[in-house]
């Protein structure tokens, strides 16, 4: 993905609404978490069913952000989509929005014993990191995961979102985080989508209504 640039017209709209840009002038890492969404083989590795090739290019940025977050005293949380409970809690998506073949492949490859479920091997999780399994696009919608309880239990106020895809699971999680009254930062160069157009449109929508959009360098500079 090329570097994201916030259009000046969007910047001015945000400034008129909130009086400053970005909303996060600094990020208190002790009350923050880096939430890395769906960087699993299924969505990242070559030849896997949900492959987003651009997701491989953001691995280094995610690793760098995770290292900085840990060093500053914040949490790193790896989100993995699972097939476990998907039909019980999200059955209509699989029955009506996917072909039978695609639904069966998705459920098989996102089984927790399948290689597709595992984190992409070039990522660098560390002891002390946290892991959350989600069922739906958003990790924060009811019946998807226990992410909200985990964040509340750690006193997290700001959620930094990385991963794939920008306009689906990352944006869905960011929207719900904001609506649950967390402060949101989406990392523009640590998220990826199937096309540049989808990536940019999603980031524009997020910065207008749901939270800050920053590069990894910008976020690290505010820790």
pLDDT average, residue stretch 81-100: 97
CB-based contacts of 27, cutoff 8 Å, min separation 6: 158, 160, 185, 219, 222, 223
- 170 as an active site residue: the answer is no
Note whether residue 209 is domain-resident.
Answer: yes
CATH code: domain of residue 69: 3.40.50.850
What are the tens digits of pLDDT across the range 165-187? 999 999 999 999 999 999 999 99
Which pLDDT score is estimated for 205?
98
Note whether residue 166 is domain-resident.
Answer: yes
pLDDT at 72 over 90: yes
Among the listed residues 136, 169, 170, 176, the single catalytic one is 169
Note whether residue 99 is domain-resident.
Answer: no
Among the listed residues 38, 176, 189, 212, the single catalytic one is 38
The residues facing 158 across adjacent strands are: 32, 183
What are the tens digits of pLDDT across the range 12-56? 999 999 999 999 999 999 999 999 999 999 999 999 999 999 999
Note whether residue 46 is domain-resident.
Answer: yes
Confidence label for 1 from pLDDT (cuts 50, 70 and 90): confident
Q: Which domain holds residue 30?
A: 10-16+23-82+119-222
Note whether residue 103 is domain-resident.
Answer: no
What are the tens digits of pLDDT across the range 102-150? 999 999 999 999 999 999 999 999 999 999 999 999 999 999 999 999 9
Note whether residue 135 is domain-resident.
Answer: yes
* Dist. CA 136–CA 157, nearest whole Å: 23
- 176 as an active site residue: the answer is no
| Rg of the chain on CA atoms, in Å | 17
- 169 as an active site residue: the answer is yes
pLDDT average, residue stretch 71-88: 98
Counting the structural domains of the chain, the total is 1
**Tally of CB atoms within 10 A around 118:** 15
Note whether residue 167 is domain-resident.
Answer: yes
């Amino acid at each position: 993905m090329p570097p994201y640039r916030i259009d000046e017209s969007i910047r001015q709209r945000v400034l008129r609404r909130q009086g400053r840009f970005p909303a996060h002038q600094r990020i208190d890492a002790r009350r923050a978490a880096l939430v890395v969404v769906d960087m699993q083989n299924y969505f990242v590795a070559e030849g896997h069913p949900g492959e987003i090739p651009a997701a491989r290019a953001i691995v280094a940025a995610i690793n760098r952000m995770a290292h900085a977050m840990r060093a500053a005293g914040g949490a790193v949380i790896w989100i993995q989509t699972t097939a476990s409970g998907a039909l019980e809690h999200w059955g209509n998506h699989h029955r009506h929005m996917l072909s039978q073949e695609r639904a069966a492949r998705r459920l098989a490859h996102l089984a927790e014993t399948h290689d597709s479920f595992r984190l992409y091997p070039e990522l660098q999780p560390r002891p002390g990191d946290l892991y959350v399994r989600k069922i739906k696009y958003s990790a924060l919608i009811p019946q998807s995961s226990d992410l909200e309880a985990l964040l509340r239990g750690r006193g997290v106020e700001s959620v930094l979102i990385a991963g794939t895809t920008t306009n689906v699971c990352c944006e869905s999680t960011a929207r719900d985080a904001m609506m649950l009254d967390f402060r949101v930062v989406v990392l523009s160069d640590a998220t990826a989508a199937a096309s540049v157009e989808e990536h940019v449109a999603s980031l524009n929508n997020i910065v207008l209504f749901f939270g800050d959009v920053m590069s990894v360098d910008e976020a690290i500079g505010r820790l």
